[in-house]
Structure 1
Amino acid sequence: MAATPGLTPAQTVESEMDRDTLRTGDMFEYHVTLANRAAYDAVIYPDSASFGPDFIIRDTQTVPDNAGERRTYTLHFFGVDVDYVPEIPVRLVDGTDTLDATIPAQPFVYESRVDDAETALRPLKPIFPFFRNWLPWIIAAVILALAAAWVLYLYRERIFGQRKKPEPKPRQPKAEPFRSPLWRLRIELKRIEETHKEPVKNPVPYFTELGDAFRTYIEEVHGFPALESTTSELLTYLKSRGFDGEVIRFLRLILETADLVKFARFEPNESDCSDVMKYGSALVDRISLTDKERLEELRRKHEEEQQAKLQEEKKDDLG
């Protein structure tokens, strides 16, 4: 078939088909030839949208052709009563400039696959009976049965009568166990030792937590506000109350070292960090002896309070 020239004067863009007649479902080759391809930086060829809904691109192939370039499309034709390939655009890029070339529509002869004799009206054939499809009815019946079962489950007590619910068992109040401040002090020292393993990298929180652990113990057991008091005030209080000399000595070593680290920017070495924990262990062993009676008194007081609390809760439950 003769080539169709493009509309742009600065270049030659031609198209051709490999056949003149098409029927619905045929595949054919559509060629686009571009002359002087080297004059352009890029060429943007048409895609499926350019050919319209009646033509589907099955394959493309681009090869040099003399001084130009030839792009071959393998198209699948699905049109009915269509007798031309629509005009398609080709975009030519030269640096920052873009030139649009339009290839005119390519005509062909459309040949129907149905003979004229086949299109004549034929007499109606008798209607044959078909089996009824019972599947939708079966599905609907299953859905209704499930819905009925769900409603029956929700309202079973109203339908079959309310069942007598078992009476709740009376709550048995429990007494809180006594947790000795000395036991809590041992747990806290163990936590500090495991958290700040040797060598201690952060001495400030290490010494602060250690000193606060003993201040908390004194505050809970002896009622002195040790956490809000200075080291000097705390030691003076202990001396005035006749505390054991070893307790005061170990406590002084721990608290004064902690004050140096927190307030005087004292940088302890590994030996200092290890020694202060040893002082803490020795202090715990000492106060376990000196505060034995005081701890036992706290235990008895706690048990008496718990017994009184249980009696009040029993009265509330009964009445």
Structure 2
Amino acid sequence: PATMATPSTSASTAASSAFPLTTAARFPRASTSGTRIPALAERRRTRRRRLPEGSGGDRSAAAGAVEKGLRLAFLEQLAERARAADALGVADTIYDMVAAGLSPGPRSFHGLVAAHALAGDAEGAMQTLRRELSSGVRPLHETFVALVRVFAKKGLSTRAMEILAAMERYKYDIRKAWLVLVEELVRNHYLEDANTVFLKGAKGGLQGTDDLYDLLIEEDCKAGDHSNALTVAYQMEAAGRMATTFHFNCLLSVQATCGIPEIAFSTYENMEYGGEDYMKPDTESYNWVIQAFTRATSHDRAPDVAELLGMMVEDYKRVQPNARTYA
């Protein structure tokens, strides 16, 4: 950034002051009388002798403090406008900074990217990033994350992955941006893209969060995508988190409608006899398996359903039939 000129420590400049009007009042213009000239010269020599050695550095520090305060005031205004998604207002603030002799830094550009992103203007955000890079400024980590988010919300997963690649070139950790990308794709109904991006990241060594695993498995199962749900579950277990009753129930919800009740029953047996309390079947589990058998058309499944109800009765301390069971 442009800085204020450092005052010279030379004798002629030292006699001047940061407050010129005050100086003029204290030191009026010398008269032409010869009797006053020696006295005035003596006063000037006295001021030169009393000038502290570090005065130049002190003035430079003061100038730096003024610049820092000015920059902070601009950044506060910029942040306020960015939160309001006012990209034009942010741009005006940046122009004012330049007019004041300050060069925009990474936080200034981040504010403009964030304003475009909050307004849903992916192209505007991308143009700002290009402008930042052409200025020789290194973008902040959160600037890249904001770009990934706005691309994900629009289903532009390929462009978002290009941003992840750029982050890697700048030696940034991409895990947070990757998590944001997958989650936003899911929440904005780009499930197929979300699965693709998730699996690509998982194969590259990235680990999801518990919430992300749960979200993907649940949404895949709601969409009837048993294959991807199972793949995500395997990735989750490979990362050290075992499948729970919740995850098995999600899988059962798909298996119950596939027309092959034996698949659902196999999952139930895995839950019942797996040996871990966190994966034991609950009422919802029994309901899905019962539904699988009642919907099967191959032959009479009444004995199988009766057997399942008997198991529920035996497990009455943990599992109680509800209205859906009887329905």
* Bin for the TM-score computed over the shorter chain: under 0.3
Write 1 or 2 for the structure with the bigger share of helix: 2
Write 1 or 2 for the structure with the bigger share of strand: 1
Structure possessing the higher relative contact order (Cα contacts under 8 Å, 6 or more residues apart): 1
Q: Give the structure-1-normalised TM-score.
A: 0.19
Q: Give the structure-2-normalised TM-score.
A: 0.19
